[in-house]
A and B are shown apart, each in its own frame.
Chain A
Amino acid sequence: MADGETPLLDELEKGPWPSYVKEIKRMASKNAASKDLLGIQELSYKDKVTHWKHGGIVGVTGYGAGVIGRYTDMPDKFPNAAAFHTLRINQPAGWFYNTKSLRTICDIWEKYGSGMTNFHGSTGDIILLGTTTENLQPCFDALTDAGFDLGGSGSALRTISGCVGKARCEWSSIDTLDIIYNLTMEFQDEIHRPRWPYKFKIKTSGCPNDCSAAIARADFTIIGTWKDGLRIDQEKVREYVDKGMDINGLIVNKCPTYALEWDGKSRELKFYEDDCVRCMHCINKMPKAIRPGVDTGATILIGGKAPIIKGAYLSWVLIPFMKMEPPYDEVKDLLRKIWDWWDENGRTRERLAELIERVGLKTFLKEIGLKPVPQMVYKPRANPYVFLK
């Protein structure tokens, strides 16, 4: 294989979809680290073994999180990518930027790093891919001068994220962006200075549609909901029906708890508030006719995670309804209680859900001072992955 040729990686450029190989190649013409990155990747495919190592000392002064350290095990062959660290930058809630701030980030990253970015990582952060150990501190200094900060990594509170909420979505029952911002400012130490058994994630969605998949992706899940009944505009319901909507087939019979009934004679959609579990289905189907209630707050769920030590979990209900108004003291108190208990009792690399499973939900509730309620189903569905046959 001639120097710089990448026959195996080239396979990943074939086909109609975007390819990260194409993007790295574009950078490789400008940046030596990216060129060596291609070399390491090609060799890993050829040898069928990874040529990367994880870990070590990661961070800039005062921080133990936000830098993900990566080294190659072949530094002699690939000196320009001997270290290829990634910075996680705390994204603004809702991922709103102006062009100036985007240019600022890119200029800093072209100066100190590979120039390659990922907007955004699975954590929600801006991901700046690939720099050297020496450049970490000056890059961080330049970023903080420009008003940015690192996000979470390691055994820390991860960068808090959630759906776009009230900024753009009419269904949002809580101000997800304000919650994210407020909790982020409150828990700076927890984000930057890892001290727990393992990672901890908080995510929030404005309504049960859960566009940020907070149920599957967070140890602590905040989902907007409401206490009163749906707001139904009967005139608009009739409009849908007159335009041919199969109201029984698509809505009434699809309501998971049979809380709706279509009276064909009076042409009225009857609603049994006590039976409604606020799943959003009828609202999604008839957005002009049905809206969430007005007595809003959140359901708090705990324990979602991907499989590492044990299998994957979806979060399950801890508190069926909590008011969500600044300064969010109730949520903060609850978080602190949970962290204290988990930190004291958790084994290294044991997530909250795994600890609860080990010692039992009863013990957990007793320790954090909550009474069991029927909504605390433990746990509705253990495997969030759908396998297509």
Chain B
Amino acid sequence: MAEVTEELKQKVIDYLKTVTKAKNKEVAREIGEDKHLVDKAIAELGKEGKIEYLYLGASFIKLKE
């Protein structure tokens, strides 16, 4: 499987700048990338502390302020 690139992570961040919250699958759909790869990219961004998780009845992600 393809690897997560910095470019992909930037695409995720750029998309998250346009919304208040999102689910992984929406991110993948909106930026037109493979879902598994986007899941990995989001996990890496989480570990790097660039995004955070929000719980509103179900879990979402958002950019860290």
Contacts and interface: CB of A to CB of B under 8 A. Distances in A.
Contacts of A348: 23, 57-58
Contacts of A99: none
B31 interface: no
Most buried by B among A64, A69, A153, A198: A64
A31 to B, nearest CB: 26
Interface residues of B, number: 19
A57 B56 contact: no
A344 interface: yes
Contacts of B56: 55
Which of B23, B47, B58, B61 is packed against the most chain A CB atoms within 10 Å? B58
B49 interface: yes
The CB with the most chain A CB atoms within 10 A, among B43, B49, B52, B55, is that of B55
Interface residue range, chain A: 20 to 34
Contacts of A56: 54-55
A56 B52 CA distance: 11
Contacts of A189: 39, 43
Contact of A193 (B25, B43, B54, B55): B43
Interface string A55-75: 111110111110001000000
Interface in A128-187: 153-156
Given A57-B53, A194-B53, A64 B59 contact: yes
Does more than half of chain A's interface fall in helix, strand or loop, or is it mixed? Answer: loop
B42 interface: yes
Contacts of A340: 35
Contact of B52 (A59, A65, A195, A343): A59
A15 B55 CA distance: 38
A193 B23 CA distance: 11
Given A344-B25, A348-B23, A55 B55 contact: yes
A224 interface: no
Contact of B58 (A58, A59, A62, A349): A349
A56 B54 CA distance: 6
A193 B52 contact: no
Contact of B59 (A61, A155, A343): A155
Contact of A344 (B35, B46, B52, B59): B35
Given A198-B58, A348-B23, A154 B53 contact: yes
B49 A193 contact: no
Contacts of B25: 195, 343-344
A207 to B, nearest CB: 34
Given A62-B46, A69-B55, 11 more contacts: A55-B56, A57-B52, A57-B55, A58-B54, A154-B59, A194-B59, A195-B25, A197-B23, A343-B25, A344-B25, A349-B58
Interface of A: 54-59, 61-65, 69, 153-156, 189, 193-195, 197-198, 340, 343-344, 348-349
